[in-house]
Amino acid sequence: MVDLSTTWMGLELESPFIAGASPLSDDVDTVKRLADAGAAAVVTQSLFEEQLTVDQMALYQHTEGHADAHREALTYFPDYEDAGLGPEAYLKHIEALKGAVDIPVIGSLNGTTPGGWVRYAKQMVEAGADGLELNVYYVATDASESPAAVEQRYVDLVAGVRDVVTVPLAVKLSPFFSSLGHLAHRLKAAGADGLVMFNRFYQPDIDIEMLEVTPSLHLSTPDELLLRVRWLAALYGRCDLDLCCTGGVHGAEGAIKALMAGAQAVQMTSALLKHGVDYIGAVRDAVHGWLVEREYDSVSQMIGSMSLDRCPDPAAMERANYRRVLGVWHKF
Amino acid sequence: MPVTRILDANEATARVAFKTHEVIAIYPITPASAMGEHADAWAARGDVNLWGDVPRVVEMQSEGGAAGAVHGALQAGALTTTFTASQGLLLMLPNLYKIAGELTPMVLHVAARSVATHALSIFGDHSDVYACRQAGLGMLCSNSPQEAQDLALVAQVATLNSRIPFVHFFDGFRTSHELSPVTLLDDADIHALMPMDGVFAHRARALTPDRPVIRGTAQNPDVFFQARESANGFYDACPGLVEAAMDAFAARTGRRYRLFEYVGHPEAERVVIMMGSGSGAAEETVEHLAAAGERVGLIKVRLFRPFSLKHLLAALPETARRVAVLDRTKEPGGAGEPLYQDVLTALYEGDRQDVRVVGGRYGLSSKAFTPAMVKGVFDALEAERPKNHFTVGIVDDVTHTSLPWDPDFRVEPDEVVRAVFYGLGSDGTVGANKNSIKIIGEEAGLHAQGYFVYDSKKSGAMTVSHLRFGPNPIRSTYLIEQAGFVACHQWSFLDRVDVLEVAAPGATFLIDSPHGPDAVWDHLPREVQAAIVDKHLDLWVIDASTVAREAGLGRRINTVMQTCFFALSGVLPKDDAIARIKEKARATFGKKGPEVVRVNLEAIDAALDHLHRVEVPGEVSATRGRPPLVAAEAPDFVQKVTAVMLAGKGDLLPVSAFPPDGTWPVSTSRWEKRGIAPEIPSWDADLCIQCNKCALICPHAAIRTKVYPEEGLADAPAGFQSMPFKGKPFQGWKYTVQVAPEDCTGCNLCVQFCPAKDKRNPRHKAIDMVPLAPVLEQEVANFDHFLALPEAPLADIPDNVKGSQLRQPLFEFSGACAGCGETPYVKLLTQLFGDRALIANATGCSSIYGGNLPTTPYCTNDDGRGPAWSNSLFEDNAEFGLGFRLAVDALTSEARRLVGQLVPEIGVSLAEALLGAEMGDDAAIAAQRLRVEDLRRQLGQVSITDARRLEQIADYLVKKSVWIVGGDGWAYDIGYGGLDHVLASDADVNILVLDTEVYSNTGGQQSKATPMGAVAKFAADGKGLAKKDLGLLAMMHDHVYVARVAIGAKDAQTYKAFVEAEAWPGPSIILAYSPCIAHGYDLRFGAEQQRLAVDTGYWPLYRFDPRRVAEGQPPLTLDSKAPGERLDAFMRNETRFRMLAQRDPARAKMLGAQAQTDVTRRFEMLLRLARPEEA
């Protein structure tokens, strides 16, 4: 029996397999099934501050915008004061999940304002979240904003949230940084405990007939894993942050690669949406079988084994295709 | 310690009604709708009545239905009530006789409103309540929101003790909608006063099989009379029981009411007797005059039925010699109005023949009733023979009934702060003022009053808020005449309205101005400058629109302007006031979300930073005056009558200005140039593909297309755009898309709907929005030229949707909402058939934007022909339209018969041509019209009587098109019985149902057209049942043409349906999907939502044409594809669905799933009917 347990930001997990943020976590029964299937933790779908804000303002404008404008119709809707316009429903859901499963429940948060990050982070922890995943989603389209300023946004929000919560804190990043390692150090200093790599953005698509932009989000594919593998390997042991892989883990082999590169845990999302909640258990069992077959004692043995610091050919990890070509040429 | 809150009478009354009843049957009608809405909302959130139960609130299909349900529930033992007004009360009348005849305790609360006569009016008078004075009901009148609450309970007590059912009423709008402080009755008060013996007795009389009795028998001549007299004792006892209830109420609350309440000089010689809100103005005046030593008095009538002669005589001072009885109604042909006649009877029977009594009318349909008019009445009583059957408040220069009055006479005390605000309907001014009144009246301990005046339009409407604050109770039940604070919240109003007419000398004047403090003076028109200088006004400006926009509030400047009011008015110390506004913002908006609070707080702070005093020059310097309201070339009637009404001075028009029978000229909206759109569409001919969709979708006929010969450009203004017309019928002609810049509402629908994008920069389309101001002058000239261009010959216009927009709209510039989803259908109707159409229009949005003065949108073509339009009622429109058809058919038959008889005179060939004409298309119609002209020429040569008769009705030889138009509230609910009957006939009528799926005009109450899962008033927790399938019901008749259309989704199908429906010689019905502001999204996306409605199967398109049966085809043609998108794609864009998802996600999910199943099932059913081979 191989010991599959791991720790992720100080959370003791029975295995490295976490159900990532997705609509699957919206339903308590589904989360129960995930836990039963073998998920070691679950990340809730993000609480989007922007969504809450937009919903509030839209409802306000659409209901109040025509109020008191015509003598026969002073309003057009029933009073909506009891509508769940704040995070209440979301927070209640966290409470419900905590009451339903024993595995850690990690709250995912996407804020847009400093106040929003802090307020909602605190409320999610008060609702029972065992840890937080800050799903930072920022597309720097303003050409006058410097890279340093962009990084500072991340650092400030982590520091702000850390000021008000003590639970483990992960930052879910995109890969689009000049120096991820440097940023990781700064995030650690600001109070982060872990990095989740990487976020996947909605991508604008173009309707070539209607000449319109249509946002789209597709499920991940295994091809996306290798980008994660490289950066997990590059950061493992070098930033004092726990690492978690998300995006591209669709089976045992992918999970093993992520773990070997340096992930203490792996999140599965698209694969579960595609194959069903039980798939997380199947992957876990397959990894277990793989470890047994190769006589590993524990999963921790392989975590980081193929990181930049430990892999046999670090240059290959660092420079990838270009280096490989050079290497072949040198051997000629 | 009693709690005081700022309430209007509707809410104050509804609170008591809710607490004291077990069943509440409701139906919306202005101005009583809010009572039902409150009751429904409280029940939806689980509030309970006195006994701990949630009253059962049920919406009925009509007031008649509500009365029936009330009657039934009363008979079965429940304490039951309802609310209504006007025609609604009249629809209840048969049941009210029954309820009274059966001595059944009940209180019916009425916001008294004019009954439609020569015109509909939603405003207040007593014609409705007087119309049920003979039904055997008790009638109790309240004069203020406080009284409305209190007497609602007194009525409840009295009815239970007396067994006489009561109508408790107060004046529509003036009282139903006036905000003022109400000291609340709490549950303990109500408990203490409710006669539980009466409740038990009511229960004991309940119909129950456990101790059966029979009621509702039919009686014969032998006994009916005696039985009718057997109830006399109950009526005799009733006034005493009402008085006892008032006494008990006074003992409990300290508020004393009397059946007839006298105020004034103890030895008054001249006395006014009246009831209703006008008593407030009368009481103020009497106190003022009495204090000056005049021996005058006022009797306020509270208990009108049973009319207690004894109590009236007791209230009238012995010294009284002259009495004027004022009635807020008119009973043409009567010996006098009701209260006058009752008083006469009372004084005669009470041996007070020493008193000379005269009667007069005042205040019909909320006409202002001021202290000056009261003084005019007292002055008139001093005459040796006082004028009788007089009017006051108008100038009657025809039958000379009116009394003179001095408009400068005022009695308002100096300590009252009076403020008047001119706002735009959508800018939140009224809401902010309601908020201010609550801050001042509920929290700062001052007395407060708010009354709000709205104009007739649904888009770009002006609101005028009248606010009073003072240390003493405010009884001034009339509009402010001299204000110490005037605010103009829209810059454009300065050119349209004399906003400073109400400004008192030295008043503060605040303007929302795009021009800063240094520049604003030079932009003011001469009249405004003059008023500022002459009245020594203290002028302030703020660019509130910018402040609000930057704070994230969009066009809602309410918070910004409210802050400025508090900063300037001095009602409260400034810092205290700002702190209170912020606190109120947190409380008001807190439940709407923290972001809403944040932006409002930000706006409050920013407002103070941007508020500037203006140094007023000592003299007028403006070179421009306020532009005329209507163009100089407008017809005489428009100049003399309409323009006065547009200026807000319709009160000054004398009786002689008006047609006596409600008949008004058409084509008047074109003279009202409102210029309300900040941005208007601009046409780029280089990109245009001439699809005409912009014109098709425009709700206001404010963007139009035309083809014309090249000569039309000869005298075109520079800058007039045109392009060669693409298409065969008019080869070599020019084509122009033209906006009516001052008639556009800026809704953006045309831009959103325009399919022509610039390939290099798709953000740019053939139609883009541009700011109005820089292009206004040019576009006005362009539009004038466009109108002067000849219309394309109808016979040559292609028979398709594109061709439809080359026809002249005969419905233009209505007051409908910006982005209205109904009006494009109405406009299309007039383009296709308007020159030969009669339109019967049900009451509702379409009758308001179609027929509400001052200006109306139906118009005529160059031949002077156009739709003949009328509105009868809400409930009878199908029958009304059928009447049109019957009359047209009768006159047509007569004309045809006369043609036959006059063959010797007119010749066989003409007669045969006239009688044999097919008239299936425009060319044939035109040919028939030429024949009729020929006929008239020939008849002119003939001197026999039949020739004269035929001359008069010869136009009926040309086919007429009868249309019956209305909304879903009419078609699905209140008018369904009649609609069903007309569908079951063989009459050639066309029914257009403008389906917004909700009662739009009265403010979003659910109808049977409301879809499952939608939140609406009376369905606050989301409608749990599916929309009634009116189309399917109509198809079951077999001989009815039925179409379901959505113009923004598939305009060609809509066009085809209109043409086919009109051509079908029997009844036809078109169900037209109509986006509405009550759906809760930006209506610029209305067409896209229609597309989604169709693509998701929410609104399948079809045409059921009985003609196809003869061709061996199924009559149903399905015009939309199987649902391609999930229903959620449609629902998630609209507040009506989203509100439920946010309020109750589980129920939203459940109903959403059911709705999805329903959509799929219904589509499959349609598919089976349309294409059985595929199903």
Could you report the per-residue pLDDT of B94-153, keeping only the tens digit for each? 999 999 999 999 999 999 999 999 999 999 999 999 999 999 999 999 999 999 999 999
Q: Assess whether pLDDT exceeds 60 at residue A330.
A: no
How large is the average pLDDT for residues A183-203? Answer: 93
Ranking A81-95, A286-300, B22-36, B835-849 by mean pLDDT, the lowest is A81-95
- What tokens were used for B39? 């009751």
Report CB contact under 8 Å: B593, A52.
Answer: yes
| Residue A267, beta-bridge partner list | A18, A246
B113 is catalytic: yes
The pLDDT assigned to A140 comes to 87
Cβ contacts of A77 on chain B, cutoff 8 Å: 1004, 1015-1017, 1078, 1080, 1135-1136, 1139
Q: Which of B33, B426, B593 sits opposite A85 (nearest CB)?
A: B593
Band (A319; pLDDT cuts 50, 70, 90):
low
Could you report the per-residue pLDDT of B497-548, keeping only the tens digit for each? 999 999 999 999 999 999 999 999 999 999 999 999 999 999 999 999 999 9
Q: CA of A209 to nearest chain B CA: how many angstroms apart?
A: 11
Tell me, yes or no, whether B105 and B74 share the same domain.
yes
The pLDDT assigned to A320 comes to 54
What percent of chain B clears pLDDT 70, i.e. is strictly above it? Answer: 100
**Which residue from B111, B141, B112, B136 is spatially nearest to B258, judged by alpha carbons?**
B141
Nearest CA in chain A to B430: A68
B1001 is catalytic: yes
- If DSSP codes are grouped into helix, strand and coil, which group holds residue B487? strand
Tell me, yes or no, whether B382 and B527 share the same domain.
no
Residue A323: its H or E element: helix A314-330
- ipTM of this model? 0.94
Q: Assess whether pLDDT exceeds 50 at residue B783.
A: yes
Tell me, yes or no, whether B63 and B114 share the same domain.
yes
Q: Is residue B855 part of a domain?
A: no
- A279-293 vs A252-261: helix crossing angle, rounded to 10: 70
- If DSSP codes are grouped into helix, strand and coil, which group holds residue A242? strand
Q: Is residue B160 part of a domain?
A: yes
Q: Is residue B620 part of a domain?
A: no
Contact yes or no for B930/B923 (Cβ under 8 A)? no
CA distance B1060 to B1051: 14
The pLDDT assigned to A116 comes to 85
Cβ contacts of B41 on chain A, cutoff 8 Å: 78-79
The pLDDT assigned to A321 comes to 52
CA distance B484 to B465: 14
**Which residue from B808, B887, B905, B783 is spatially nearest to B840, judged by alpha carbons?**
B887
Q: Which of residues 43-62 of A touch B (CB under 8 A)?
A: 52-53, 55-62
Q: Is residue B623 part of a domain?
A: no
Report CB contact under 8 Å: B431, A65.
Answer: no
Nearest CA in chain A to B461: A69
Band (B66; pLDDT cuts 50, 70, 90):
very high
Interface test with B, best of A52, A71, A119, A206 (most B CBs within 10 A): A71
Q: Assess whether pLDDT exceeds 60 at residue B798.
A: yes
Tell me, yes or no, whether B65 and B195 share the same domain.
yes
Q: Which domains are delineated in chain A?
A: 6-330 (3.20.20.70)
The pLDDT assigned to B163 comes to 98
CA distance B508 to B976: 54
Q: What is the CATH number of the domain that holds B722?
A: 3.30.70.20
- What tokens were used for B1134? 């609209």
How large is the average pLDDT for residues B199-212? Answer: 97
Question: How many contacts, defined by CB atoms under 8 Å, are there between A and B?
Answer: 144
Band (B42; pLDDT cuts 50, 70, 90):
very high
Tell me, yes or no, whether B468 and B602 share the same domain.
yes
How large is the average pLDDT for residues B297-316? Answer: 98
How far is CA B359 from each of CA B125, B319, B369, B631, rounded to the nearest angstrom? 16, 19, 16, 43
Q: What is the CATH number of the domain that holds B232?
A: 3.40.50.970
Tokens 């099989």 appear where?
Answer: B209
Q: Is residue B834 part of a domain?
A: no
Q: Which of B10, B13, B30, B830 is labelled catalytic?
A: B30
CA distance B828 to B840: 16
Contact yes or no for B1103/B1159 (Cβ under 8 A)? no
Tell me, yes or no, whether B485 and B572 share the same domain.
yes
Tell me, yes or no, whether B1082 and B1133 share the same domain.
yes
Q: Pick the more confident residue, A81 or B718.
A: B718
Band (B729; pLDDT cuts 50, 70, 90):
confident
Strands B1102-1104 and B1041-1045: antiparallel
The pLDDT assigned to A322 comes to 52
Residue B640 has a CB neighbour count (10 Å cut-off) of 12
On the question of a cis peptide bond just before residue B31, with omega within 30 degrees of 0, the verdict is: yes
Band (A316; pLDDT cuts 50, 70, 90):
confident
Report CB contact under 8 Å: B1135, A63.
Answer: yes
Strands B270-274 and B296-301: parallel
Q: Is residue B552 part of a domain?
A: yes
The pLDDT assigned to B691 comes to 97
Q: Pick the more confident residue, A50 or B1167.
A: B1167
CA distance A132 to A110: 11
Question: Domains in chain B: how many in total?
Answer: 7
Could you report the per-residue pLDDT of B239-266, keeping only the tens digit for each? 999 999 999 999 999 999 999 999 999 9
Q: Is residue B838 part of a domain?
A: no
Write down which residue in B807, B823, B853 finishes a domain. Answer: B807
CA distance B1140 to B1017: 12
Q: Which of A59, A71, A76 sits opposite B1077 (nearest CB)?
A: A76
Report CB contact under 8 Å: B593, A80.
Answer: no
Write down which residue in B901, B931, B957 finishes a domain. Answer: B957
Q: What is the CATH number of the domain that holds B594?
A: 3.40.920.10
**B498-534: buried (b, 16+ CB within 10 Å) or exposed (e) per residue?**
bbbebbbeebbbbbbbebebeebbebbeebbbbbbee
Q: Which of A55, A64, A74 sits opposite B428 (nearest CB)?
A: A64
Residue B1140 C-alpha from the chain's centroid: 27
Q: Assess whether pLDDT exceeds 90 at residue B453.
A: yes
- What tokens were used for B527? 């009249």
| Residue A266, beta-bridge partner list | A17, A245
Q: Which residues contact B378 (CB under 8 A, 6 or more apart)?
A: B270, B272, B285, B289, B294, B296, B324
Q: What is the CATH number of the domain that holds B309?
A: 3.40.50.920
CA distance B1061 to B1042: 8
Strands B417-424 and B462-470: antiparallel
Tell me, yes or no, whether B519 and B590 share the same domain.
yes
Tell me, yes or no, whether B926 and B1051 share the same domain.
no
Cβ contacts of A61 on chain B, cutoff 8 Å: 554, 556
Report CB contact under 8 Å: B34, A52.
Answer: no
How large is the average pLDDT for residues A131-160? Answer: 92
Could you report the per-residue pLDDT of B1091-1125, keeping only the tens digit for each? 999 999 999 999 999 999 999 999 999 999 999 99
Q: Which of A71, A79, A211 sits opposite B454 (nearest CB)?
A: A71
Report CB contact under 8 Å: A56, B594.
Answer: yes
Residue B246: its H or E element: helix B232-253
Report CB contact under 8 Å: A68, B1001.
Answer: no
Contact yes or no for B369/B278 (Cβ under 8 A)? yes
Q: Which residues contact B819 (CB under 8 A, 6 or more apart)?
A: B699, B745, B747, B748, B749, B1075, B1077, B1082, B1083, B1084, B1086
The pLDDT assigned to B93 comes to 98
Residue span of the structural domain in which B157 resides: 4-214+224-252
Could you report the per-residue pLDDT of B740-762, keeping only the tens digit for each? 999 999 999 999 999 999 999 99
Q: Which of residues 1013-1042 of B touch A (CB under 8 A)?
A: 1015-1017, 1020
Q: Which of A61, A67, A78 sits opposite B41 (nearest CB)?
A: A78
Average model confidence (pLDDT) for chain B? Answer: 96
Report CB contact under 8 Å: B428, A67.
Answer: yes
| Chain A contact for B1136 (CB, 8 A cutoff) | yes
Q: CA of A129 to nearest chain B CA: how many angstroms apart?
A: 22
| Chain A contact for B434 (CB, 8 A cutoff) | yes
Tell me, yes or no, whether B1038 and B1157 share the same domain.
yes
Tell me, yes or no, whether B661 and B687 share the same domain.
no
Cβ contacts of A75 on chain B, cutoff 8 Å: 1003-1004, 1017
| Chain B contact for A72 (CB, 8 A cutoff) | yes
The pLDDT assigned to A323 comes to 47
Tokens 């998920």 appear where?
Answer: A39
Write down which residue in B357, B392, B427 finishes a domain. Answer: B392
Q: Is residue B715 part of a domain?
A: yes
Tell me, yes or no, whether B707 and B801 share the same domain.
yes
Could you report the per-residue pLDDT of B463-478, keeping only the tens digit for each? 999 999 999 999 999 9
The pLDDT assigned to A83 comes to 65
Q: Which of B431, B1001, B1020 sits opposite A64 (nearest CB)?
A: B431
Q: Which of B63, B283, B481, B875 is labelled catalytic?
A: B63
Ranking A48-62, B59-73, B619-633, B804-818 by mean pLDDT, the lowest is A48-62
Band (A325; pLDDT cuts 50, 70, 90):
very low
Phi-psi region of B431 (alpha: psi -120 to 50; beta: other; left: phi over 0): alpha
Contact yes or no for B54/B46 (Cβ under 8 A)? yes
